[in-house]
Amino acid sequence: MATGSLIPSDIPHTRTAAQALMDKLANANPISAADMQAVADATEALNGVLTQLNQEDMLSRVGAMQAAAAEVKGPLQTLSTLKDQLTDISTRIGALAGIANDVDQVVSGCTTIFGL
């Protein structure tokens, strides 16, 4: 459930939210194996989301939206699944504060953009 910031509904804002989440994950520096695995899986999934957002952004600029829903569905599911675990990690790692809202923004934005 999103709290605080508005949920983005277009590609540029969703992309900005996804990149901000990526930066947050890259700076998290978890220590335990389980936390590290969750952050690594989220990082990989988010990279997949960013790739699809970039692709969609490019196509929209030439008037050819293709809604690559199939390619983005898996990474979004991974992110949603990891949300609770990442929220738990954020209680120990300050750099991840507000991560549930960040994940919601990306997932909701992509759901609108890709028509999921």
Partner 1 sequence: MTLNPSEALMYARSGPMLCLLLLLSGCSISPLTQRATAFSTAATATTLKVQNAFQLIEQSYTDAQTASLVNNFDTKGFNPSQIQPFMLSEAMQARTQMIAGLQQYATLLAEVSGNQPVTALDTQSEALGKSLQALSTSSGLSTVAKSANTDIGPASTAVDALGRMLIEHKTAKELPGILTAMQKPVDTICQLLEDDIGTPEGSGLRNQLMNDYFVLIAAQKIYIRNNEAKMTPDEKRAAIEQLPQLVITEKQDDATLAQTQAALKSLAATNDALTATKNSKKAPAFQALLAELVAEGQQIGSVYKATTSK
Residue ranges in contact with partner 1 by CB under 8 A: 19, 22, 25-26, 33, 36-37, 39-40, 43-44, 47, 50-51, 54-55, 57-59, 61-62
Cβ distance to partner 1 smaller for residue 1 or 33: 33
Cα–Cα distance for residue pair 5/46, rounded to 1 Å = 19
Q: Closest approach of Cβ 38 to partner 1, in Å?
A: 10
Nearest to 89 by CA among 17, 18, 41, 20: 41
Q: Closest approach of Cβ 49 to partner 1, in Å?
A: 10
Cβ distance to partner 1 smaller for residue 40 or 116: 40
Contact 82, 37 (CB under 8 A): no
Q: Closest approach of Cβ 62 to partner 1, in Å?
A: 6
Cβ distance to partner 1 smaller for residue 51 or 85: 51
Cα–Cα distance for residue pair 38/25, rounded to 1 Å = 10
How many Cα atoms sit within 13 Å of 78 on the Cβ side? 18
